[in-house]
């Protein structure tokens, strides 16, 4: 009998890393871009724009990385707290937990008689029972070890990489007005490519994501430039 070929599963499994890159890169592209555009409406020296932009990138990457670290640590602490609670409940409130298992299976159309053997197997393995309740009752997945540090580093590095893109023309051109034109073209192109890649990875559609990301960055920069020009005129 001919073996049946395995069915490939094309699910994307790095959603947390992608989320961190998206957070860092999108803010890194838009915030320094808006700052540089705003300063270009107030000062003529590209050197001043570069210094201010680098200072913002340094501060922004640290703040964003710290935010990512604290968020990931909070997720890990929440998971650990809920897991301890479940471990106590399967011992102290066993009957209630059994009923919750039945209710979970009923949501999938499995009646009590059919789910009883599964419950019996879970009761023989308390750790597996707790894992089951964490996943299907609370909807919580155990965070990977070192997740907080990796999240902080990924967000911070992505922010720096994204932030250097709009500043590159200011490093090569002395007059801010000329650098602004090149910065707009380069950054919008980077936003479009980044948005397209993000859309492909997340399955939301590359063109829609690319246009949406470019639009948001363009609006932010236009608002900053207009406000700086208006204030410098007074």
pLDDT in tens, 32-85: 888 888 888 778 888 899 999 999 999 999 999 999 999 999 999 999 999 999
Handedness of CA 38, 39, 45, 46 (dihedral sign): negative
Helix ranges, the chain (H): 15-40, 46-92, 94-107, 112-124, 126-136, 147-172, 176-202, 206-232
Comparing 71-80, 98-107, 206-215, which segment has the lowest mean pLDDT? 206-215
pLDDT of the residue at 226 = 74
pLDDT at 7: 47
Q: Could you tell me the pLDDT band of residue 13, with boundaries at 50, 70 and 90?
A: very low
Mean of the pLDDT values across residues 115-124? 91
Is residue 227 over pLDDT 50?
yes
Whether 233 shows a pLDDT value over 80: the answer reads: no
Report the distance separating Cα 143 and Cα 19, nearest Å. 14
pTM for the predicted model, two decimal places: 0.78
Eight-class DSSP state of 42: T
What share of the chain in percent tops pLDDT 70? Answer: 90
pLDDT value, residue 12? 46
* Position with higher pLDDT, 224 vs 216: 216
């Amino acid at each position: 009998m001919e073996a049946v070929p395995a069915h490939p599963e094309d699910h994307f499994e790095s959603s947390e890393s992608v989320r961190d890159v998206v957070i860092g890169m999108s803010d890194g592209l838009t915030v320094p871009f808006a700052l540089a555009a705003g300063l270009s409406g107030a000062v003529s020296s590209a050197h001043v724009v570069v210094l201010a932009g680098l200072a913002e990138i340094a501060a922004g990457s640290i703040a964003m990385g710290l935010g990512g670290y604290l968020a990931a640590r909070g997720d890990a602490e929440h998971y650990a707290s809920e897991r301890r609670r479940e471990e106590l409940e399967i011992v102290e409130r066993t009957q209630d937990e059994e009923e919750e298992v039945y209710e979970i299976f009923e949501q999938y159309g499995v009646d009590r008689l059919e789910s009883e053997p599964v419950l019996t197997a879970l009761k023989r393995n308390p750790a597996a029972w707790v894992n089951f309740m964490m996943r299907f009752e609370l909807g919580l997945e155990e965070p990977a070890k070192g997740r907080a540090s990796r999240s902080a580093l990924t967000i911070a590095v992505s922010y720096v990489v994204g932030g250097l893109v709009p500043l590159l023309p200011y490093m090569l051109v002395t007059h801010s007005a000329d650098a602004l034109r090149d910065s707009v073209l380069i950054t919008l192109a980077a936003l479009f490519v980044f948005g397209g890649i993000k859309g492909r990875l997340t399955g939301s559609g590359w063109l829609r994501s690319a246009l949406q990301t470019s639009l948001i960055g363009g609006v932010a920069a236009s608002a900053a430039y207009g406000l700086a020009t208006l204030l410098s005129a007074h």
